C-alpha cells in the first residue's frame, strides 16, 4: 500500500480501503483458484496492482468513459482501474469461467458498481467502447485485428479512443506495422522499482 500512496497520493480513504481489501481477497481466492502465479502472489502490489495502474499514468479517464479489459484473467488490469475511476464503466471478459467467477466475487465484495465481468470472447462482442485494455494476451497485431471493431469513433478523453496494451520485453517486430501511429511509454520512467525496467505501454489510437 505504501507504493500506491507514493505514486497515487490523491487516493481517497475509500479507495485506500478497497486496495487494502483487494490484496487480501487475491490471496484468499488464489488459495482456491490459481488466478495469479504462485511466484507472483507475494509481489502482488508491484507486479499486478501497480502494473495495472500504470495506465492511469498514461491517461486520466474522464467520467463516463467505457473500457473493456480483454483476457482479464483474475481481473487485471480492470479491477484496480475500476477502483481508481469509479465514474467510468469497466467490462471485464475472459474465456475461462472460473476466473470470471473470481472477478465477479471480488467486484461484489469491494462493492464495485462500475464493473461487469463476463465469460466471453472478444470475437463474440459487438459493443463499442472508448478504450480496449489488456495485459499482453496475444501478439499485438492479432490483438489489434480482434478488437478494432469494438472501439467507438467518438472520443471524450485527452487521448483519442484506442488500445492500451501492457507489454514487457522486446516487441519491436510486433509493432512495425503500427510504428507511424503507435506510441510507446516506458514504465521505467514512471516507476523506479526494478520490475518496471522492461515494462511498457503501447497506445494505439483507432479511428
Q: What is the pLDDT of residue 71?
A: 96
Structural domain boundaries, residue 198: 2-205
What is the H or E stretch that residue 4 is in? helix 2-7
Which class for 46: exposed (0-12), middle (13-18), buried (19 or more C-beta within 10 A)? middle
Q: What is the pLDDT of residue 138?
A: 87
Domain count, the chain: 1
pLDDT digits (tens, 9 = 90+) for 100-131: 999 999 999 999 999 999 999 999 999 999 99
pLDDT digits (tens, 9 = 90+) for 133-188: 999 788 899 999 999 999 999 999 999 999 999 998 878 888 899 989 999 999 99
pLDDT digits (tens, 9 = 90+) for 7-48: 999 999 999 999 999 999 999 999 888 888 877 888 999 999
Q: What is the pLDDT of residue 128?
A: 98
Q: What is the pLDDT of residue 169?
A: 82
Q: What is the pLDDT of residue 15?
A: 98
Q: Which of 73, 86, 78, 74 is nearest to 112 (CA)?
A: 86
Contact in structure between 65 and 157 (CB atoms under 8 Å): yes
Q: Which of 109, 79, 108, 101 is nearest to 91 (CA)?
A: 79
Give the number of other Cβ atoms within 10 Å of residue 173's Cβ: 10
pLDDT digits (tens, 9 = 90+) for 39-77: 788 899 999 999 999 999 999 999 999 999 999 999 999
Pairwise CA distance, residues 101 & 74, whole Å: 9
Give the mean model confidence (pLDDT) for residues 190-200: 96
Q: Which of 86, 103, 92, 49 is nearest to 67 (CA)?
A: 92
Amino acid at each position: 500500500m505504501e507504493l500506491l500512496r507514493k505514486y497515487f497520493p490523491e487516493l481517497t480513504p475509500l479507495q485506500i480501503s478497497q486496495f487494502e481489501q483487494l490484496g487480501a481477497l487475491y490471496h484468499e481466492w488464489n488459495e482456491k483458484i490459481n488466478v495469479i502465479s504462485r511466484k507472483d502472489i507475494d509481489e502482488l502490489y508491484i507486479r499486478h496492482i501497480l502494473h495495472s495502474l500504470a495506465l492511469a499514468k498514461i491517461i486520466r479517464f474522464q467520467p463516463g468513459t467505457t473500457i473493456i479489459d480483454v483476457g482479464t484473467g483474475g481481473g487485471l488490469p480492470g479491477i484496480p482501474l475500476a477502483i481508481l475511476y469509479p465514474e467510468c464503466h469497466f467490462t471485464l471478459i475472459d474465456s475461462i469461467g472460473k476466473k470470471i467467477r473470481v472477478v465477479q466475487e471480488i467486484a461484489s465484495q469491494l462493492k464495485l458498481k462500475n464493473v461487469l465481468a463476463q465469460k466471453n470472447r472478444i470475437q463474440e462482442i459487438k459493443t463499442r467502447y472508448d478504450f480496449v485494455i489488456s495485459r499482453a494476451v496475444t501478439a499485438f497485431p492479432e490483438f489489434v485485428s480482434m478488437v478494432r471493431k469494438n472501439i467507438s469513433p467518438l472520443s471524450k478523453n485527452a487521448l483519442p479512443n484506442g488500445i492500451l496494451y501492457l507489454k514487457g520485453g522486446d516487441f519491436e517486430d510486433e509493432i512495425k506495422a503500427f510504428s507511424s501511429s503507435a506510441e510507446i511509454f516506458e514504465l521505467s520512467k514512471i516507476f523506479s522499482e526494478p520490475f518496471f525496467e522492461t515494462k511498457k505501454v503501447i497506445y494505439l489510437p483507432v479511428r
